Amino acid sequence: MVIVKLLIRLHKTRSFSASAVFLLQINFANICLFISYLLLFLDAMHVSHFSMTIFLVFFSPSLTARPLFIFSIVVLVYIAIVHPVTYRNAQLLRHWEWLVVTLVWIYALAINVAIMIYEIDIFHPGFMVTFHITILPSLFLYIANLRALISSGSGNGEQTLNPAKRKAFQLILSFLIITLLYYIPRVYFLIYPLVAPMDWQRFLCSEGLVLVHTIYKVERSTDEENELDFSSQMRDFKMFNLTQGQQQDGTSQYCSESLETVHKVLNAILLFVSFPATFVVIVKLLIRVYKARSLSSAEIFLLQINLVNVCLFVFNLMLFLEAVQVSKFSNTLYMVFFSTTLTARPVFLLAMCVIFYLAIVHPVTYMTAKPWLHWEWMVVTLGWVYALAVNVAVVVEETNIVDLVWSMLLYNTNLPSMFFTISTLRALSSSSPGSNGTLDPAKRKAFRIILGILVLLLLYYVPRVYYIVYPYIVPTDEERFLCDEGTVIMFLPKISELSMPVIFLYSLHKLGVSSKVDT
């Protein structure tokens, strides 16, 4: 929420104060910390097993970058309260805060690279230098800020601070308490083994466990990770593995490694190129909600589709981490994140196609349906409830998401979506042309976007339907199909997944999704 509010502020004012810049970086470090705790949770739930290296990579910014950003904010507050003239002069320095941010993240990245290449512990004293150096100056500046606020003139001749100073005092005091509770136990926990190494085992099991029992994770041996056997799950999940682009079980000895490499490259491109477009679409829609306090029905469904794309991003991120041998994930976890592309997204795509169809082909019906109270949110709720029910069944019953029962929506919504899209294109092309015999610019843009959605539907759903149905039609030919045309066919949905976020971003920018539809 803090990150979204800061991005909204950036979108409005086109600028950031120095403190807002550092606050944004602290929350980015908090996201890394959240991911490290998520890895711990998944490990504790036996969903997946992670190497100590990947845990340290996400955990390290909380000990390297975050202390420096917190210290920078404390310095800014101190200068603003104690030395206001110096603070106003420093504001004239151009982009100095971004220089500090760049240097800090370079330092944090260098430590992460060292962790991954040399497998060095983040808790090594050499890496903990910023953590130890910044703690005492931060405490000193906090206390100096509080002292300056207390000793400043009281409000309205009374002995109490005025409301603004009282709020500042309460905030800084809470920051000081949080710093004491968070950093002092960690410093003690990290320094004690260096002072009394012989007492390390007793310390871990007594006061050390009480102090920070959640921050230290014992590394699992590599041998234990290599002994994990997923063979039984893999055999029941062969079709889904090929959807991922992985060659496992008996298929690897027949299938070409070059095809597997192409799948991994497409997954990596989808991960690092297409997802930023998805993120931009979500941010733009959230900004629109913040400004207008409402969303049109088309924008609501577009937001849900991009939330599904976030699940797909997590799915491809797990594929990438497993491809680079950072971690291994259970098939259940893969299915949970991938299932929404077969359950929720077809519903939301069909809803968008219906909205465009009604708005262009039957505008009177569309305007009549618009006043219906929150009908779109009812559709969204039903779509997500169905997707959640499928996920619960997948997790509890260990059911294959590619089973015909769960893929029902994929088959049932594909043809109606294409029908509505083609009908919309036909209505646009047959409408009255402009002065030069062509469509006017607004209709031409709408035609291009809807045509792009139709191509995406064809590339994404038709190969998947053929891929999933074929083994049921010719079960004896499954092995050859998986290694030959089945693998090549699945390239097309990958290309569609690469293009989908870009087309949605283009439609949001050019058409505004709702504004042109409404007019």
The pLDDT of residue 436? 57
Residues 239 and 225 sit within 8 Å (Cβ to Cβ): no
How is the chain split into domains, by residue range?
A: 2-212, 231-239+254-518
- Closest C-alpha among 341, 263, 358 to residue 305: 341
Percent of the chain with pLDDT over 90: 0
The mean predicted confidence, pLDDT, of the chain is: 71
How far is CA 309 from each of CA 103, 277, 304, 365, rounded to the nearest angstrom?
33, 10, 9, 31
Fold match between 2-212 and 231-239+254-518?
yes
pLDDT tens-place string over residues 214-244: 343 323 332 333 333 333 333 333 444 444 4
Least confident piece of the model among 21-35, 78-92, 330-344:
78-92
pLDDT tens column, 243-288: 444 333 333 344 555 456 666 666 666 666 667 777 777 888 788 7
pLDDT digits (tens, 9 = 90+) for 37-72: 888 888 877 777 777 778 888 888 888 888 888 888
Length of the chain equals 519
Query: Residues of 356-365 as b/e, b for ≥16 C-beta within 10 angstroms?
Result: bbbbbeeeee
| Domain 2-212, CATH among 3.40.50.300, 1.20.1070.10, 3.60.21.10, 1.10.275.10 | 1.20.1070.10
332 in Cβ contact with 47 (< 8 Å): yes
How far from chain centre, in Å, is Cα 127? 28
Residue 363 pLDDT class (50, 70, 90 cuts): confident
Share of the chain above pLDDT 70, in %: 61
What are 89-93's contacts with CB under 8 Å, separation 24+? 91/18
Q: How far is CA 121 from CA 114, 124, 416, in A?
A: 9, 6, 56
| Predicted pLDDT of residue 333 | 82
Task: Note whether 112 and 60 are within 8 A (CB).
Answer: yes
Q: Is the pLDDT of residue 178 over 70?
A: yes
pLDDT on residue 272 = 67
pLDDT at 248: 34
pLDDT above 80 (res 388):
yes
More confident residue, 434 or 292: 292
pLDDT value at 516 more than 50: no
Q: Is 67 helix (H, G, I), strand (E, B) or coil?
A: helix
| Overall average pLDDT of the 456-483 stretch | 70
517, pLDDT greater than 60: no
**pLDDT higher at 68 or 86:** 68
Identify the CATH assignment for 231-239+254-518 out of 3.40.50.11810, 1.20.1070.10, 3.30.70.1450, 2.40.40.20.
1.20.1070.10
Average pLDDT over residues 478-505: 68
Residue pair 63/112 in contact by the 8 Å Cβ criterion: no
In terms of average pLDDT, the best of 5-19, 121-135, 241-255 is 5-19
Predicted pLDDT at 402: 64
Question: What is the pTM (predicted TM-score) of this model?
Answer: 0.48
- Grade residue 195 by pLDDT with cuts at 50, 70 and 90: low
Q: How far apart are CA 444 and CA 224, in angstroms?
A: 60
Give the per-residue pLDDT at 27.
Answer: 86
